[in-house]
Amino acid sequence: MRRGRTLPWLAALLLGLMGLLVCGSDFQHHCYEDMVRALFAVQSECPYITRIYSIGRSVEGRHLYVLEFSDNPGIHEALEPEFKYVGNMHGNEVLGRELLIKLSQFMCEEYRAGNQRITRLIHDTRIHILPSMNPDGYETAAKQGPEFNGYLVGRGNAKEMDLNRNFPDLNALMYYYEKTNGRNHHLPLPDNWEQQVEPETMAVIKWMQNYNFILSANLHGGAVVANYPFDKSRDARIRGRTTYAATPDEKIFRKLARTYSYAHSWMHKGWNCGDFFDEGITNGASWYSLSKGMQDFNYLYTNCFEITLELSCDKFPSASALPREWLGNREALVSYLEQVHHGIKGMVYDENNNPIGNAEVSVAGVNHDVTSGVDGDYFRLLLPGTYTVTASAPGYVSSTSTVTVGPAEAIQFHFYLKTAPKLNLKVKPHNGKKNLSSPKSPLKLGPR
């Protein structure tokens, strides 16, 4: 904890020591130990719908703790989408950290109170909350406190590396593939990527590899706007000029950003922090080009659609400002989470009803595919409309169907793929001999 009145601090401490949930009107800044205590207090208060796990450690050895909400914690249930919130990637941008701690407390409290909206979300979604991706940077920033915090002090990790410039640069590969009709999703990592990233970045990448996340948001500070991919421009940077870089899923990303902005108390008004963003949203590259960011990496490496939420003009607001910020963001945090339940979802089966993992699901007119998870379930975020959707997998005949998406919950549609017939590579003899020069001779099939 940093600054605040003595009595609320003592009350919160006593509640924490008793293993009870710190809730109600208590707002404070949480140092690492306080944050950990707060997360475990939530887990203690709601043990049947929560789980705490660590995805790794920071440079200075602090655990990167995640709090999971689910009706079956620790288990992926087929057709139940995975969602994540990540806060405090820049150590001195602290509002996201505090909002995610408060969101965790709020969800536990509301579930216990029988709130149907929150109960349904927890029963139908597997929610992962990482309040601090950069606990080391936070401790550096917090030593100065809200009043004296410098713009860059604590931004990076303990090695002063900016974690949002530390992911493998898959944009450059994607932009090259666009010119050659190459792969448009799940791009490969460089061979030596593990030597190029920080421990916190590596932990998050491995986290993405272990969970089939569908939707995500990364909480920052220093502006008030919902920022969507791509962050990196396709064109060389020209002084004084910004270049819009749209993804193939431009329309859905704009809708996701607007969902947060309009549910936020003032983001959608546009004028914030001396800047103006129409509807409170912006394309990242149109604002300024950024390389090796986490938002673009999610989209190009996984099934996950992520936006970056800039939530406060002040990177380290005082504790007295936290209640207003919570009320301004509470509905937006819940509304955005609900967006994971839109579009199409279903199973990809073979002809014997066995699930097929890693099958590709493509949508005509949208040059970006998603893949089914290890349990054979797939999730494709889409706006309302009618789409031609194809499922394919090596060794199977592709299946194509027309699916109509409504404005409410995701349409459930299953694919059944038949095993592809085996090619007969035998060559009929001609005059008792194999004619290897015949045009009908088998060709070697190489990678595309």
Rounded to the nearest 10 degrees, the angle between the axes of helix 294-301 and helix 199-210 is 30
Sign of the torsion formed by the C-alpha atoms of 197, 199, 201 and 203? positive
Residues 6+ away with beta carbon under 8 Å from 94: 29, 88, 138, 141, 142, 221, 315, 316, 317
CA separation for the pair 161, 359 (Å, rounded): 37
The DSSP symbol for 396 reads B
The order of strands in the sheet holding 281-283 is 50-57, 63-69, 126-130, 82-87, 213-220, 305-312, 223-228, 281-283
The residue annotated as part of the active site, out of 310, 325, 338, 360, is 310
The answer for 93, left when phi > 0, alpha when psi is -120 to 50, beta otherwise, is: beta
82 is known as an active-site residue: no
Pairing outcome for strands 213-220 and 82-87: parallel
Which residue carries 């001999």 as its tokens? 433
User: Which token pair is 443?
Assistant: 């060709």
Contact 137, 157 (CB under 8 A): yes
Token representation of residue 410? 């995701």
Q: Is the dihedral of CA 183, 414, 120, 82 positive or negative?
A: negative
SS3 135: helix
Q: At what angle do helices 135-148 and 32-45 cross, to 10 degrees?
A: 110
Positive/negative CA dihedral, 96, 102, 105, 108: negative
Residues that are catalytic:
310
